[in-house]
């Protein structure tokens, strides 16, 4: 069976250890490349199972040079790296080598001398890959064996081989492949293909009892050991490791010419090398550098001073330099003038006592410094703890704890979180956790601990740190209790708060689908364009949520911020009485562009304040424009509500509508006209002239 056919049907044995036959299929070729440095191109897999895949090899499109593709077969355990259909077990950038597994040629006979099995594996490599002549040996095993190794070196045909005979197992040379039971020969340089052929002079008739088969193979030197047990062991051995050489390009003497071309691949801090007896060129890191010379990042400086278990400067201080290092000697020492790698102590003087006193003073000072530092840190921790307790009391923590205890688990109310819990949940409020930012606060994505069921939450932290009065703290506690009991499909639920900071931190349920602002104004694949029917559903959901807050909560809640299909973000605010009515309104922390003009004049919030903001959202939905645009010259034109009202008055609404909505088919004009009319009514300047949310819904 041909080699490439057998590779598709025979399974790989990862490790085979035998007495007398030593084969390491998973051996790692020595390399100086630091594994911590990048090996694969950015965005490309760098491993297949336990094997690191260094560029110019690579897995996937645009991850390798032409001729160096690797396929990772994940159906095996561990996954197997394939170059074409050849199994790869190791790479060496320093030696420009690749270790692969190749199959063994067999020629077997029965007791009557009839041939029962014969295969002649063949191999053909594309340039610039060759079979290594310095790392491989051709070996034949058998006591009636004639083995040939055929191939081409360039255009010239090449045939070599060896003969092995013996009469009994006792005549076999132990631990020596010298021609009795085992023979070997060298591999010619520059060979790109080979075929192994086996035959027998006497069909193994005289030796069939202990040696019915002949074997031949090319194997990495040092990976095969012969003994009188090898005949039996080779019967179950499928393949052996072999070394391929590789290079870049196919020219005979390419370095001088390759460096002038644009496709020259040796990167920073590397040099071009012409391999002996091979075409193409290879890249190597310069002395004092390590890494992948083919990688875009090139070779990186070796910091000799930070190498573990190595002191390159005996008695001195090592100072790293690009590609090298130098030694700085302390007082009383002089650098070695021979190799510069150590500091030699100066001849003794009469200053030994002074030196001891100096060392003692320095040591005592250092001990005192450590003691004072520990005392300082302990004091700071105590001050911080007291400050947390102060803020907790100041923000109504004791009152909130008392109120929550009174419910005794009868309803699902707010949770009091510690500042440490929220810091851990947000990785100390790391920037990558930030998911939103408004005029007064920043919202972070957080993962709570197992004590809180590993829940994913949104954590709103105020940008402003200002103390609050006792009255305000009690009102804040009331707000938290009221909001945490709201359960509605279109209202983001308040889960709890942290009162250990100057301004309380709020914890909401996390909504993973993004905000309305994201879906309308961000132009990327994560947030595809919203069709008209979905925009109308968002408007309806928003109206339903606001109607619920205004009419079905006790007391009613007035909201002052932006909307999604779930209304959320009530601000780090306190509930305050609204005039003579029994309504509650979250202290205004809304986004500019959504605040109604009547509030800006009177500073009085009503339910109609939310109607105005709802009208702005409706205009956003049909125009896909931002509520407040900073790139407009006119102050009036920066406000979307002003632009819309003026367009309605002048009958030129089409000029500001989203052009994509017009492409959605018949009937859109009537729908948009209805939405625009409702938005216009919501944006009436005076609260008594605008419609209610229930009416709008």
Query: Who's near 465: CB < 8 A, 6+ residues apart?
Result: 501, 502, 503
> What are the pLDDT digits (tens) for 34-77?
446 789 999 999 999 999 999 999 999 999 999 999 999 999 99
Give 295's pLDDT tier (boundaries 50, 70, 90). very high
397-509 CATH: 3.30.200.20
Q: Are 121 and 2 in contact (CB under 8 A)?
A: yes
Express each pLDDT in 379-408 by its tens digit. Answer: 888 888 888 888 888 888 888 888 888 877
Number of residues that make up the chain: 697
User: SS3 of 45, please?
Assistant: coil
Which residues lie closer than 8 Å to 643 by C-beta, 6 or more apart?
625, 636, 637, 656
Q: Is the CB of residue 490 less than 8 Å from the CB of residue 547?
A: no
> Is 371 exposed, middle or buried, given 0-12, 13-18 or 19+ CB atoms closer than 10 A?
exposed
Write down the architecture of domain 102-238 according to CATH.
Answer: Sandwich (2.60)
Question: Which residues are documented as binding site?
Answer: 461
The answer to whether the peptide bond before residue 156 is cis (omega within 30 degrees of 0) is no
Active site residues: 561
Compute CA 422 distance to the chain's CA centroid, rounded to the nearest angstrom. Answer: 25
Residue 427 CB coordination number (10 Å): 13
Q: How large is the average pLDDT for residues 517-546?
A: 79
Is pLDDT above 50 for 522?
A: yes
Give the rounded percent of residues in the chain with a pLDDT score beyond 70: 80
Residue 692's closest CA among 612, 630, 593? 612
For the chain, the domains span 102-238, 397-509, 527-696
pTM value is: 0.47
3-state DSSP call for residue 167?
coil
Pick the closest to residue 690 from 616, 618, 611 (CA basis).
611
Q: Is it true that the peptide bond before 306 is cis, omega within 30 degrees of 0?
A: no
Of 3.40.50.720, 3.40.50.300, 1.10.510.10, 1.10.10.10, the CATH number of 527-696 is 1.10.510.10
Per-residue model confidence as pLDDT tens digits over 440-471: 688 999 999 988 888 999 999 887 777 777 77
Place 570 in a pLDDT band, splitting at 50, 70 and 90. very low
Cβ neighbors of 137 (< 8 A, separation 6 or more) are 184, 185, 186, 187, 218, 219, 221, 224
> Binding site for ATP: which residues?
461
């Amino acid at each position: 069976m041909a080699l490439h056919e057998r590779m598709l049907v025979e399974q790989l044995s990862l490790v085979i250890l035998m007495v007398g036959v030593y084969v390491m299929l998973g051996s790692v070729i020595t390399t100086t490349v630091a594994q911590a440095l990048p090996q694969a191109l950015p965005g490309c897999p760098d491993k297949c199972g336990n094997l690191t895949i260094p560029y110019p090899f690579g897995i996937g499109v645009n991850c390798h040079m032409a001729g160096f593709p690797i396929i990772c077969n994940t159906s095996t355990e561990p996954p197997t790296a394939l170059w074409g259909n050849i199994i790869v077990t190791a790479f060496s950038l320093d030696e420009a080598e690749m270790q692969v597994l190749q199959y063994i040629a067999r020629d077997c006979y029965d007791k009557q001398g009839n041939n029962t099995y014969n295969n002649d594996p063949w191999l053909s490599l594309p340039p610039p890959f060759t079979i290594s002549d310095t790392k491989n040996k051709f070996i034949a095993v058998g006591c009636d064996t004639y083995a040939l190794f055929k191939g081409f070196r360039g255009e010239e045909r090449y045939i070599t081989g060896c003969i092995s005979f013996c009469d009994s197992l006792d005549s076999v040379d132990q631990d020596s492949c010298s021609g009795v039971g085992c023979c070997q020969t060298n591999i010619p340089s520059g060979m790109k293909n080979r075929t192994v052929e086996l035959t027998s002079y006497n069909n193994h008739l005289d030796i069939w009892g202990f040696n019915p088969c002949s074997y031949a193979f090319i194997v990495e030197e040092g990976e095969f050991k012969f003994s009188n047990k090898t005949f039996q062991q080779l019967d179950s051995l499928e393949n052996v490791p072999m070394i391929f050489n590789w290079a870049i390009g196919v020219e005979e003497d390419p370095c001088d010419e390759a460096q002038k071309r644009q496709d020259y691949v040796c990167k920073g801090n590397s040099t071009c090398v012409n391999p002996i007896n091979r075409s193409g060129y290879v890249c190597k890191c310069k002395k004092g550098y390590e890494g992948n010379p083919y990688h875009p990042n090139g070779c990186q400086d070796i910091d000799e001073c930070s190498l573990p278990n190595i002191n390159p400067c005996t008695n001195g201080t090592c100072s790293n330099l690009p590609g090298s290092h130098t030694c700085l000697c302390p007082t009383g020492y002089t650098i070695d003038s021979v190799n510069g790698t150590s500091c030699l102590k100066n001849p003794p003087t009469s200053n030994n006592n002074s030196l001891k006193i100096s060392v003692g003073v320095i040591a005592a000072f250092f001990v005192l410094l450590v003691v004072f530092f520990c005392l300082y840190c302990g004091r700071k921790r105590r001050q911080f703890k007291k400050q947390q307790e102060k803020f907790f009391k100041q923000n109504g923590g004791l009152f909130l704890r008392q109120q929550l205890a009174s419910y005794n688990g009868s309803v699902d109310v707010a949770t009091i979180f510690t500042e440490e819990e929220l810091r851990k949940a947000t990785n100390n409020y790391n920037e990558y956790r930030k998911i939103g930012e408004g005029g007064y606060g920043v919202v972070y994505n957080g993962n709570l601990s197992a004590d809180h069921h590993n829940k994913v939450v949104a954590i709103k932290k105020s940008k402003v740190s200002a103390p609050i009065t006792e009255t305000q703290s009690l009102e804040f506690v009331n707000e938290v209790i009221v909001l945490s009991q709201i359960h509605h499909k279109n209202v983001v639920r308040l889960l709890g708060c942290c009162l250990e900071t100057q301004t309380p931190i709020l914890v909401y349920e996390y909504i993973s689908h993004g905000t309305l602002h994201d879906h309308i104004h961000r132009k990327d694949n994560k947030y595809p364009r919203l069709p008209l029917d979905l925009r109308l559903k968002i408007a309806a959901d928003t109206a339903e949520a606001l109607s619920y807050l205004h009419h079905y909560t006790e007391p009613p809640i007035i909201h002052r911020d932006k909307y999604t299909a779930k209304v959320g973000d009530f601000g780090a605010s306190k509930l305050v009485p609204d005039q003579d009515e029994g309504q509650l309104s979250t202290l205004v922390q809304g986004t500019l562009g959504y605040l109604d003009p009547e509030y800006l004049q009177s500073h009085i919030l009503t339910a109609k304040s939310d109607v105005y903001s709802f009208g702005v959202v409706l205009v956003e939905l049909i125009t896909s424009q931002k509520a407040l645009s900073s790139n407009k010259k006119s102050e009036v034109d920066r406000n979307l509500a002003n632009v819309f009202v003026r367009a309605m008055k002048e009958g030129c609404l089409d000029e500001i509508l989203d052009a994509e909505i017009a492409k959605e088919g018949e009937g859109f004009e009537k729908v948009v006209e209805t939405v625009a009319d409702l938005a216009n009514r919501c944006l009436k300047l005076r609260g008594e002239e605008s419609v209610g949310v229930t009416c709008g819904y």
